Amino acid sequence: MAEESKVELSTFYGIKAGMTRVFSESGDHVPVTVIKLIPNVISQVKTKEKDGYEAYQVAFCEKREKLVNKSVKGHLAKASIKQSFSKCAEIRVDGVSAENLGKEISIESFKPSTYIDVTGVSIGKGFQGVMKRFNFQGGPAAHGSHFHRRPGSIGNRATPARVFAEKKMPGHMGCVTKTQQNNIVYEVNMANGYLLIKGSVPGPKNGVVKISKAIKKQG
């Protein structure tokens, strides 16, 4: 798709391909996260008159046609999208245009040294105790202490006679939507379809990540 026919937005979605390292011109070792660039196509235009707010719905993550259900296929066909995308998300925009329906999102504005915010679902770690989940110190390691990795007392006496909400206790760790702010774009390679972000970002390998222009920092 020609760059002139693409729409420039402040957000796009990609796939976390993993981490590697590169070397700067001065020979410094730089750890980077590799983001696989995938098509982001506008599948619906939300307007104030019809929906009460303005936004673009973006479709991404292409799959085999047989893996996409009929309702999603019909929704994509309504926007004249031929690809079989399986995921959709909304991007709030001031001043939408119905002419952009079916157009692909451009990432030309995400140049090297641009500050970005990256959102992803953190890696799941299962059911964990308080030492791993909240970095509790734990009890004595000596034999006979009977208090090694336990959380300790969690309650109060007759008043208030209950455990306060949000008490730090053992439980499910990970699988939480996290946003990491002020990351830096290190390199953009459109020819090979990848983008490098300096440092690590939330999410597992092959997980979907949302990349947006940084809210708090400009560069």
Local structure of 105: helix, strand or coil: strand
Mean pLDDT of the chain: 93
Structural domain contains residue 152: no
Q: Looking at the structure, tell me whether residues 138 and 186 fall in a common domain.
A: yes
Residue 197 within a domain: yes
Same domain, 49 and 130: no
**71-91 burial: b if 16+ Cβ within 10 Å, else e:** ebeebbeebebebbbbebbeb
pLDDT digit string (tens) for 16-64? 999 999 999 899 999 999 999 999 999 999 999 999 999 999 999 999 9
Judge if 84 and 124 occupy the same domain. no
Tokens of residue 142, six digits: 């000596």
Contacts of 111 (CB under 8 A, 6+ apart): 185, 188
Please tell me the total count of domains within the chain. 2
* Helix, coil or strand: residue 66: helix
Look up the domain containing 46 and give its range: 41-103
- Report pTM: 0.87
Contact (CB, 8 A) for 201 and 108 = no
Q: Is residue 158 part of a domain?
A: no
Q: What is the pLDDT of residue 3?
A: 59
Greatest alpha-carbon span in the chain: 73
**Nearest in space to 202 (alpha carbons), one of 163, 166, 171, 176:** 176
Position 196: which residue type?
A: L
For 85-136, what is each residue's pLDDT tens digit? 999 999 999 889 899 999 999 999 999 999 999 999 999 999 999 999 999 9
- Which CATH number goes with the domain that contains 53? 3.30.160.810
My answer on whether 139 and 199 are in the same domain is yes
